[in-house]
Amino acid sequence: MSSIPLMPKATAVWLVENTSLGFDQIADFCKLHPLEVKAIADGEAAQTIKGLDPIVTGQLTREEIDKAQRDPKYRLKIAETKVRIPVQKRKGPRYTPVSRRQDRPNAILWLLRNHPELKDAAIMRLVGTTKPTIDSIRGRSHWNSTNLAPMDPVTLGLCSQIDLDFEVDKAAKSLPPREVGAEGDTLLRTEETTAADALAAAALRSYRLEPKEEEELDADAVFAKLKSLKGPVDEEEDEV
């Protein structure tokens, strides 16, 4: 329980009017300045404030007040409540301030694109919208669909990062386990890799240049050509 009582000034007014506690004791319990408590006792402050009984509200017991009245140095302690009020879960969509409601379609579009695993109920909890609105944005039938731009709902202030992470993790856990060999796996089967290697080798052979066959040399043609080249030289030698 909080160390500060409910409605401190109203509680101080009641203690001043109904007990003989010292100003320091009341000031310490109500977290006020002793001079402020003195002003309340003198009628100079909190004249329009109605006293609040801390015994009725369960913040003090009669025994605690009596003990403090007998010992001026004793400091009052707030009584611990024996009843635990359960926290009520919020029902329906989250409340969105009027100034932020125009940003909800952009946030819905962002969630649909970046977190398709989220269910409509989760989106409704995050940004405080309705299912028809989500369906209209998903089906591009929203009246302002042409002007919508995806925007992070956390940046827009529509939800906290903790709430978004919680809903995303919850949705991820509800997804079915991924099967081996499903689309998107990085490893291929042995048959596929072997076939791919064979195709690559065939393609490489098709682009490889085949060596040209060596042409057979004709000896008679070679000698005839050499003789034609040496002919004029031999004639000049005979003339000399």
Q: For residues 164 and 153, is the Cβ–Cβ distance under 8 A? A: yes
Of 7-11, 66-70, 230-234, minimum mean pLDDT range: 230-234
- Mark out the alpha helices in 50-141 (DSSP H runs): 62-70, 104-114, 120-127, 131-138
- Rounded Cα gap, residues 30 and 32, in angstroms: 5
What pLDDT, on a 0 to 100 scale, did the predictor assign at position 237?
47
What pLDDT, on a 0 to 100 scale, did the predictor assign at position 123?
92
- Rounded Cα gap, residues 106 and 240, in angstroms: 110
Tokens matching residue 68:
């403090």
Q: For residues 94 and 134, is the Cβ–Cβ distance under 8 A? A: no
The residue type found at 131 is K
Above 70 in pLDDT, residue 181? Answer: no
What pLDDT, on a 0 to 100 scale, did the predictor assign at position 214?
47
In the predicted model, what is the mean pLDDT of residues 34-56? 86
What pLDDT, on a 0 to 100 scale, did the predictor assign at position 110?
94
Tokens matching residue 35:
């001079």
Nearest to 121 by CA among 110, 101, 135: 135
Tokens matching residue 49:
């404030």
In the predicted model, what is the mean pLDDT of residues 68-83? 82
For the chain, the first-to-last Cα distance in angstroms comes to 138
What pLDDT, on a 0 to 100 scale, did the predictor assign at position 160?
87
Confidence of residue 212 (pLDDT cuts 50, 70, 90): very low
Report the range out of 66-70, 178-182, 193-197 with the highest average pLDDT. 66-70
In the predicted model, what is the mean pLDDT of residues 150-173? 88
What pLDDT, on a 0 to 100 scale, did the predictor assign at position 49?
84
DSSP string, 177-218: PPPTT-TT-S---HHHHHHHHHHHHHHHHHHSPPPPPPPPP-
Above 50 in pLDDT, residue 213? Answer: no
In the predicted model, what is the mean pLDDT of residues 19-34? 90
In tens, the pLDDT along 186-209 reads 555 544 545 555 555 555 555 554
What pLDDT, on a 0 to 100 scale, did the predictor assign at position 44?
84
Q: CA 184, 185, 186, 189 torsion: positive or negative?
A: negative
In tens, the pLDDT along 112-139 reads 999 999 999 999 999 888 999 999 999 9
Tokens matching residue 15:
């203690």
Q: What separation in angstroms does the CA of 135 have from each of 91, 117, 138, 160, 172?
A: 21, 15, 5, 23, 21
- Rounded Cα gap, residues 78 and 12, in angstroms: 14
Average pLDDT, the chain: 76
What pLDDT, on a 0 to 100 scale, did the predictor assign at position 156?
85
pTM value?
Answer: 0.39
